[in-house]
Amino acid sequence: MHGRNERSEPSATTARPFTAKTATRAAREFHMTVDQRLPHRQLLKGLEEEVYTGRPDGHVLPLSPRVKEALDGYTTEPDGRNVEFTTAPYRSYQVLIDRLMAKRCALRRYLQAEHGCTLVPGGALALADRESFCISDAENPYYRYIRDTYGTRVVTASTHINLGIDDAEELLRAYRVLRLEASMFLALTAASPFLAGETTGLHSTRWLRFPLTPERVPFFPDAASFAAWMDEQLGAGAMQNRRHLWLSIRPNGPATPRVLDRLELRICDRISDPDVLQAVTALYEARVWQVLERPELDPLLERSSRELEAIAAANERAAGTASLEAEATNWVDGSAVTFRDWVASMLESVRETAGRHGFASLLAPVEEILEQGNPAMQWLRRVEQGASPRQVIHEAIVELAELDREFDPSCPLVA
C-alpha cells in the first residue's frame, strides 16, 4: 500500500456552504496547501467505515443487503444493520476525506430516497435489542459462524485507518509500538456509552463487548514469527480465515501473513466528524513516521511480550471505561498518566514530525477533543442534564446529517 501509486481521482464534492466550521476547515486546508510546498513524504492512507442504517428516531434496520444490491462499493457485515464501505489508498488527506464523504453521502441519499432512513451514529446498538441478530445472508457459513459464536457482541460500528508500510520488519515494529498506544485513539474517539436504550457506565461499550480473537496475540518480534503464529491459529481453528484476527491494530496485506503492506488501526469507535477523522488519521500517521525514523523505538527491547500484552490490555479496558478521564500506563517509563495528558503529550511530540511531512495543521481538532470531550463524553453530559439516551441519539442523528451536508450539499438532512 505504501509503495503503490496514489489514484488521482477528482473530488466528488461540490461547493460547500460557508459556516463557522467550514471557515475553520478552509483555514486548515490553506495551511495544508502551504505545507505541501515543502519537501516531504506522506504514507498512503485508506479508510474503512462501518455504520448503522435506520430510522431518524434511532431504530436500526437490517438494510445492508438492499444497499449492496443497489449501490456499487458497499458490503454487508454478518448482521444486516451494518453497512461497510472503503476508500482506495491515497497520500492526500483532502482527497482521502472527499472520497470517504462521497460514499457516505451517496449512502445517505439512497437510504432516504428508498427507505426514508438515515445513518445512526455511535459504535454500539444504542437503542436496539442487544440479543436479536439480524443475519444479512443466512446462506453464508462464515456469517452463521459469527452469529452462533459471538451474537450481537460483533454488531458494532467503527472506523478502521490503514497506513501503508512496505517493509515488513518495519511494519511489525510499528505494530509493536502502536499496539501499546492504540488505547489513546480509543480514548479520543469513544462514541458508545449506550446499549439497548440505557447508559452502560462505559464510554466505549463497543470495544469492551467486542470479542477480541484469538484471546492471546503476541508482540511479534519479526514478520516470520507473525506468519508462523497465524498458520498455527488457522490450523488449530482459533481463526476461521486470515481476516479473523480481531485486535486493536494488526499487520495486513494482500496475502497476509506473508505479503504485508499496511498497518490497520481497528480500535476506534465510528468517527462521524470528518475533521476529527482527518485529525486522528494525522496523529496516527505522525506517530508511525516517528517510529519509522527512530529505530530505537521498540518495546521488545525492554519488556517481554507477556508484559506488553498485559499493559496494552489494561490500557484498552481503561480507555473503554472512561476514555480521556481514565488512567493509563505509559509503556515507555511505566508511569501512570491520564489519557487526556498522554494524548496531549503525544500531540506535542509529533508536531515537528507532522510539520516535516506536511500535515501539522490537520492536528488541531485533537486539541478540541481534549477540551470538549469525545462523543461519548458529550452525550453523557446531555444525559446528566436530563435527556434520555433516545433523545441524545436523535439529536446526534440530526446534527451529524447537517455536518455531512457541509461537505456535500446533496446530503439529505433529517427532520
DSSP string, 146-213: HHHHHGGGG---BEEEEEE---HHHHHHHHHHHHHHHHHHHHHH--B-EETTEE-S-SBHHHHHS--B
pLDDT at 15: 39
pLDDT at 14: 38
pLDDT at 130: 85
Q: Which of 12-21, 195-204, 367-376 has the lowest mean pLDDT?
A: 12-21
Residue 13 has pLDDT above 80, yes or no: no
| Mean pLDDT value of segment 376-386 | 98
How many H-runs (helices) and E-runs (strands) does the chain carry?
A: 13, 11
Per-residue confidence band for 167, with pLDDT thresholds at 50, 70 and 90: very high
Separation between Cα atoms, residue 252 and residue 171, nearest integer Å: 9
pLDDT at 129: 85
pLDDT at 12: 38
Residue 230 has pLDDT above 90, yes or no: yes
Instruction: Provide the 3-class DSSP secondary structure of residue 85.
Output: strand
Residue 28 has pLDDT above 70, yes or no: no
Q: How many CB atoms lie within 10 A of CB 372?
A: 11
pLDDT at 415: 74
Read off the pTM. Answer: 0.92
Residue 1 has pLDDT above 80, yes or no: no
* Residue 394 CA: distances (Å) to CA of 88, 161, 179, 304, 390: 32, 27, 34, 47, 6
Go through the domains of the chain in sequence order and give each one's CATH number. Answer: 20-407 (3.30.590.20)
Residue 29 has pLDDT above 90, yes or no: no
Instruction: Provide the 3-class DSSP secondary structure of residue 249.
Output: strand
Residue 52 has pLDDT above 80, yes or no: yes
Amino acid identity for residue 52 in this structure: Y
Separation between Cα atoms, residue 312 and residue 217, nearest integer Å: 11
pLDDT at 208: 98
